[in-house]
Structure 1
Amino acid sequence: MHSRLGNRSRPGIVAIGLLLGIASASAAADEPRAPDALDVRLAHKTMTVRVGSPAVVLPGEAFPSAEVVARGREAGTLDGELVRDDGATVKTIATRTLEPGQKATVEFEGKPEPGRYRLHLRFAAGGRLVFRDAYYFSVLDPGALPEGYSLAAHPGKDGKLVYTPDYRGNRIPDFSAVGYLGGEKQIPEVPVKVTLVPEPGDATPRIQRAIDEVSALPPDADGFRGAVLLKKGVYEVGSLKIKAGGVVVRGEGPGKDRTTPLLDPAAGLAREAFVRGLAGHEGTVLVTTGRLPFSVAGAGGAEPRKEPAAEILDAYVPVGATTFSVRNPGDLRAGDKVLIQRRGNEAWVKAIGMDRIPGKKPWPPRDTTFERVVTAVAGDRITVNAPFVTAVESRWGGGSVTRYDDPGRISRVGVENLRLVQYCAVDAKVGLGNVRGSAVEFANARDCWVRGVAAEHYYDNGAFVLGRHTRNITVRDSSVLLADEKYTEGYVPRYGFKVGEGGQATLHLVENCHALNCRHAYYVDYQVTGPNVFHNCVGEKDLTNSEPHHLWSSGGLYDNVRGSVALMNRLTFGSGHGWAGANYVAWNTRGRLVCEHPPTAQNWAIGHVGFRLKGPFHDWRPAKDDAYDGGGHGHWELYRNPVRTGVEASDHEFTNVPENTLDGHPYGYWMTDRRNGWIQYDLQRPQKVSALKLSFPTFSPYVDAKKRNQPPPERDRVYFFDVAASDDGKTWRTVYKDGKGAAEGRDALHTYEFPEVEARYVRVVVKGSDVGKTGREGSTVFHLSKVVIVPEPTFDREKAVPEVKPASLFRQQVSERNQR
């Protein structure tokens, strides 16, 4: 075996050759490296060397090489080994002394066998280990994977998932530790200690006394005190508080249909009449007046111990890792609860572009915290119960581990088998704009649950809120039911299931749930670190997106979620939301999906069926920053769009994308604020077209509740446009001139006929709009709800995209966890 300088080393030992500034013509890493003890760059002629992209070497190709530079102030020794995924050492790197600034190359003779590999490098100086890191690659042929298998994660020969990491080891995380007790036990049927039946009048004092009575009982061996059973019928309540662990409030069910609301706020029923009308309902119904019927809250959250933190030794701990090294493990033991701090310094903020948000304050340095439990300690190697969901990097400040206690948290609390209805009625001027409230909120709590609960007409920042200092809570078989969007104007939160209230909220599971007419149906708050999971959920008639909302939330899974989901840069929204979510996974989702690539991280979309959308800042990048590596689509595989007609537009406003005109969403529309803006449709080949059917949206007749004195909004807007056709998408001919259409709602289609033409592309060209049906084009604002091309285009048979395997990433990961 030979180094680049030709010196020979023993078989099985890799030579380190000195380099004199020789530049590699191979692929280079995606981001600049700040000075560290050792600077390492992986190189290979075909392998992708980029954070978030699987690092794959094809069978028969050479090993990757590593170029290293000593960056410290004193000489040191470099060694390491190349290891297979099963732990077997393939090559050993001969120990070599490097002077400050000296360059060397680690390279291997021969060709690797199929499998997954890690290159471990260590550098010692001044009598101590100052650098430890690993670099990853997989040898496989992606084209040889069976149909429906994702390169990012797929079943292996033994049926267990095989993950293909990027060159730093980042991969799709394991989400199986979420929910009640980390999924290790099923939610129990807690014995009833107090039973209540419906009585006329305010039931709040009776129910609160029963909760307090059970709270005073001693817990059993499993930590449970008992359940309060509310027999079926109607209870009028205000706000109830659960402050002790081991308490369950249980009804006899939300009714047969938990996806349809009982209360129609537009019906004009007085509260008393609505309550009387519920007589004979088959479930337990709580008609509420307070803005928070159930508060589940302990006295405090995670409290770090007053002891030195153990600094993380690894130069890089990748996403998906559960084992890492610390410099001073001290008294860390299996079973310890720990806070892992991941630092994000100014250099990291610059690398992700959040120091230059247009018109907004830059992000300050931003640390994130992972709450974990130590499962094993071996020397300086620590293993925890759940993976890292943002990489810890020494160049961004590294990280540390601190033990904590949480004596103020409560646990083993459940709210189940109820329907909660906040009584409300449509106001003649503001509609439902003044209605707020949450149904169930947790704070300072762990290992709790909600199941079988329907919540109607709670329009605040989440009907179900898994708030501050919470972990391992399950919300299952539950619903959030809100009224049509037309009953609110201006900003009304309308959130459904919310994870986090800023900061620590982790390891939560929302499963088999339904959200109707929500603004953000399944929502993760700022800086929340996962894993957190939304599994098998539906967003029906969602107003905007289910999403991580702002400030680098990390490590969430949307698995078999139907609706609109966005994993994207929200850059200038709000206070400067910026990159909202990193290292998120959308698996087998249905509907509309935005999945974009955050710098230094990734988002994955596997098996989506529906529209692949671009976020409003899809192509944004900081000016004059060639090092910025973000934006554009994330990692997509096995994507299928059943709508064959292509659509694009000159521009769009916020989430009012051109795809809204094709997907049948009841609230969707395309919007531009540009005269001569356009939206066009690609029929894939020249086809005969003789008419367009268009509809234009109507908006809320109510005023913003915060601006009660303003006049009612104009509702009789008229839109003006031309229709053009093209064979090549470049040269256009007008086929319908001076079109005019009134805003009468999505289902009110207006037909615009013209002499039959043959064209591949059809375009609606914006001329303007106005109110009052004056015939003027006084505004550039244009809305378009629905477009139907006549006759309906025909398409060649498309090759079917197979269903992704496994059908559910989360369920597969849980199954594998249970087998360990």
Structure 2
Amino acid sequence: MAPDLSRRGLFAAGGALALTTMAGAPASAGVLWQSRLVRYDRRGRLVYEQDAEGNRVPDFSHAGYRGGERPIPHVPVARTIRPVEGDNTAHIQAALDAVGALPRRRRGAVLLLPGLYPVAGTLYVRASGTVLRGSGDGEDPAGNTIIKATGNTPAARDVIVAGGVAGGGWAGEVPGTRTEITTGFVQVGAREFEVANPGALRPGDNIVINHPCTEEWLKAIDYGGHDVGPAWKVGEQPIIYNRYVRNISGNVVTLDVPVFNHLNGAHATSYLYRWDRAGLVTEVGVERLRVDIEYHGDPEQDEEHAYNAIVLLRTEDSWVRDCTMLHFTQAGVATQETTRATVENCRAIDPVSVVTGSRRYNFNTYTYSQQVLFRDCYAYKARHAFVSNGHSTVSGVVFLRGTSEYALNSSEGHRRWSQGLLFDGHRDVDPHYDYTLGLYNRGRYGTSHGWSAAHSVAWNCDVATSRLIVQKPPTAQNYAIGCRGTVTGDGPFAQPTGYIEGPNQPGLLPPSLYQAQLLDRLRP
């Protein structure tokens, strides 16, 4: 039976537990404790503290399909096919295109019956309301659907792309809708501010907020925080948010989702505009299949094969669930130009590549990825198992109950001011690296990565025998609360230690920050 994600069901499942555990818990439960920064009040509602700079733990509850407010739908089957001899690329694509050509109300899933489907090209789920669904993600083709990605033409291709084509982010500005934000300091976690002229805006508008990368802002963050190597430059790292207008009252605009960084007028004049949504694809998914990428030779040398297994590209309200991906170079699942997506119950295992940069990012949020939820996913032999690789255009990403086994490097914010990352219940098993979770400064690494995460949280995580590194960026904060293992501010580049509370102390309440915040937001 599917879980009850209605408001009533969420309160029954989580709210009652929270309230009863505050009143008193069974002796076997041990000592329960709450963070000083996020805690329940007497009414069972979450309350937050902030520091002297106005930093506070953000609300991450908007991550996921439909902002976490609805379960992923079960889309009816519109067409069913079975494998054919030889390359199945055109065979599957014809079925996807036929369903995509139907009127929107009649679209649905293309069901691949059990079997082995050799695919020498890329499969595109292009039309809104279309799903690519297999019959299971196991290794036996008698009862499961196996996409066998063969060859390397074109070189380093993606196997499945759900969504549109790369569109340069969210740059499509509707003429006449731009207006400046006039509130002098919009605090992280805020959902409203004043603008100069709201006349062209309406509730329900999809807007883009831009905090320019100015000399003043770069100076405030120490030009990215480098000891050696090139500093960040003006214009390189604007902070960008994709949002909806919830309400307008006078000059005050209220958003659907909070901002994940301070918008400080002393550092830059932020502005917003209505986005034209050109090329955006909605309500698409990939389900219940196995992507097995063919390779030859040494699994730590061969790269003559497909690069990514599944990519969500230029989508809103999309999903990947119950899938297994093997032998990719970079990612089992990657997102780009994507908002409100859920990746659920997926396994990205056994990557095949040289063990070096830009490889083995098993679950990867790339540029312009926001409100993305990875739930109950498993990574094996990753360099960066759960990672934000998309710099200052990535925010509001939640990694919920992720498991990384045999990690060869760290799950982390990877580069250039990703914001609002939540590692919630993350667990490392048999780590093979000195530190396996990082909200920290990466200095000269890569493309001068510098501050790789800001306003980000590790909550109730377990890094086993490795280290969790949390450091404080200028103008911001990072947090490690209730985590197990060695929790430290001692990273590869010396910076102030971030906020650490309750290391190796069991009984953190709530056990999941994301789920508690979602419950709190949806309660009447």
**TM-score between both structures, scaled by the size of structure 2:** 0.86
Aligned to 1:590: 462
* Structure 2 residue corresponding to 1:803, chosen from 499, 507, 522: 507
8 Å CA contact retained: 2:185, 2:262: yes
2:386 aligns with one of 500, 505, 522? 522
Question: Would the aligned equivalents of 2:357 and 2:446 in 1 still touch at CA under 8 Å?
Answer: no
Residues 279/559 of structure 1: CA separation in 2 closer, same or farther (3 Å cut) = closer
Question: Which of 187, 208, 213 is the matching residue for 1:339?
Answer: 208
Shift of 1:443: 1.7
Alpha-carbon offset, residue 339 of structure 1: 0.9
Match of 1:225 in 2: 107
Report the equivalent of 1:545.
410
Among 276, 290, 311, the residue aligned to 1:441: 311
Structure 2 partner of 1:295: 161
Shift of 1:308: 5.2
Counterpart CA distance in 1 for 2:46 and 2:224 is: 38
- 1:200 Cα shift? 3.2
| Structure 1 alignment gaps of length 5 or more | 1-145, 256-261, 263-277, 620-630, 641-800
* Pairwise CA distance, 1:434: 4.3
Matched position secondary structure for 2:497: coil
Relative distance call for 1:492 and 1:412 in structure 2 (3 A) is closer
Decide whether the 8 Å contact of 2:82 with 2:113 is kept in 1: yes
Q: 1:474 aligns to what?
A: 342
Distance across 1 between alignment mates of 2:460 and 2:355: 34
Deviations 1:447-477 (A, max 9, x none): 11100010000012x221101x211111100
Asked if 2 retains the 8 angstrom alpha-carbon contact of 1:294 and 1:439, the reply is yes
Alignment of 1:720-731 (within 5 A): none
Q: Distance in 2 between matches of 1:479 and 1:285?
A: 14
The Cα of 1:312 is off from its aligned counterpart by 1.4
- Alpha-carbon distance in 1 for matches of 2:408, 2:247: 45
| Partner in structure 2 of residue 45 of structure 1 | none
Q: Do the aligned partners of 1:433 and 1:492 also contact (CA within 8 Å) in 2? A: no
What is the one-letter code of the residue matched to 1:249? L
Paired with 1:806 and 1:535, the residues of 2 have a C-alpha distance of: 14
CA distance in 2, matches of 1:553, 1:292: 24
- Return the offset for 1:498: 0.8
Cα shift at 1:330 = 1.8
2:376 aligned with 1:506: no
Q: How does 1:619-634 map to 2 (within 5 A)?
A: 619=494, 631-634=495-498
Distance 2:52 2:370 in 1: 27
Secondary structure (helix, strand or coil) at the match of 1:294 reads: strand
Deviation at 1:528, TM superposition (A): 2.9
> 1:452 pairs with 300, 306, 322, which one?
322
After superposition, the C-alpha distances for 1:718-763 in whole angstroms (9 at most, x for unaligned) are xxxxxxxxxxxxxxxxxxxxxxxxxxxxxxxxxxxxxxxxxxxxxx
The one-letter code sitting in structure 2 at the alignment partner of 1:555 is: G
Equivalent in the alignment of 2:363: 497
Q: How does 1:169-248 map to 2 (within 5 A)?
A: 169-220=54-105, 225-238=107-120, 239-248=122-131
**1:357 Cα deviation (Å)?**
2.9
Separation in 1, partners of 2:88, 2:318: 24
1:379 is the counterpart of 2:250 = yes
Pair 1:603-2:478 in alignment = yes
Contact 1:168-1:318 at 8 Å conserved across structures: no
Number of the residue aligned with 1:793: none
In the alignment, is residue 167 of structure 1 matched against residue 38 of structure 2?
Answer: no
- Report the counterpart of residue 750 of structure 1 in structure 2: none
Shift in Å, 1:427: 4.1
Distance 1:483 1:170, change over 3 A: closer
Pairwise CA RMSD = 2.0
After superposition, where does 1:412-423 map in structure 2 within 5 Å? Answer: 412-423=283-294
Instruction: Indicate if the aligned counterparts of 1:343 and 1:392 stay in contact, CA closer than 8 A.
Output: no
Match of 1:34 in 2: none
**Distance (whole Å) between structure 2 residues aligned to residue 153 and residue 322 of structure 1:** 18
- Structural mapping, 1:20-169, within 5 Å: 147-169=32-54
SS in 1 for 2:469: strand
Please report how far the alpha carbon of residue 168 of structure 1 lies from its aligned counterpart in structure 2 after TM superposition: 4.7
SS in structure 2 at match of 1:354: helix
The answer (yes or no) to whether the contact 2:293–2:305 under 8 Å persists in 1 is: no
Alignment-mate amino acid for residue 160 of structure 1: R
5+ long unaligned stretches in structure 2: 1-30, 429-435
Q: Is the CA contact (8 Å cut-off) linking 1:571 and 1:579 kept in structure 2?
A: yes
Structure-1 separation of matches of 2:124 and 2:252: 43
Partner SS for 1:213 = helix
What does residue 410 of structure 1 align with?
281
Cα distance in 1 for residues equivalent to 2:206 and 2:232: 30
**For residues 184 and 436 of structure 1, do their structure 2 counterparts lie closer, same or farther at Cα, with a shift above 3 Å needed?**
same
Alignment CA distance shift 1:237-1:545 (3 Å): same
Counterpart Cα distance in 2 of 1:615 and 1:344: 28
2:275 match: secondary structure? strand
* Counterpart-to-counterpart distance in 2, 1:378 and 1:584: 31
Aligned equivalent of 1:390: 261
SS of corresponding position for 2:385: strand
Q: Residue 153 of structure 1: CA displacement?
A: 0.3
Residue among 247, 250, 258 paired with 2:133: 250
- One-letter code of the match for 1:408? G
Higher relative contact order (CA 8 A, sep 6+): 2
Q: Percent identity?
A: 34
Q: Which amino acid aligns with 2:183?
A: D
Alpha-carbon distance in structure 2 between the residues aligned to 1:585 and 1:415: 29
Alpha-carbon distance, 1:617 to partner: 4.1
Q: For the Cα contact (< 8 Å) 1:208–1:240, is it kept in 2?
A: yes
How far 1:616 moved relative to its partner?
3.8
Q: 1:153-191, CA deviations, whole angstroms, 9 ceiling, x for partnerless residues?
A: 011111121101223543111111111111222111111
**SS state of the match for residue 495, structure 1?**
coil
Contact 2:423–2:457 under 8 Å retained in 1: yes
Per the alignment, residue 232 of structure 2 pairs with 363
Structure 1 residue 489 displacement after superposition: 5.3
Partner of 1:96: none
Conserved? CA contact 2:125–2:132, under 8 Å: no
- C-alpha displacement at 1:431, in angstroms? 3.7
Offset from partner CA, 1:332-370 (integer Å, 9 cap, x none): 221111111113321221222227734422211232111
Structure with more of its chain in helix, by fraction: 2
C-alpha deviation, 1:803, in angstroms: 1.5
What is the correspondence of 1:767-778 to structure 2 with a 5 Å cutoff?
Answer: none
Residue 407 and residue 508 in structure 1: after superposition, are their counterparts in 2 closer, same or farther (change >3 A)?
same
Secondary structure (helix, strand or coil) at the match of 1:397 reads: coil
Which residue matches 1:570?
442
How far is the alpha carbon of 1:614 from its aligned partner? 4.1
Structural mapping, 1:271-286, within 5 Å? 278=140, 280=142, 282-286=143-147
- Which residue of 2 is the match for residue 306 of structure 1? 175
Is 161-170 or 232-241 further displaced after alignment?
Answer: 161-170
Aligned residues: 472
Deviation at 1:637? 0.8
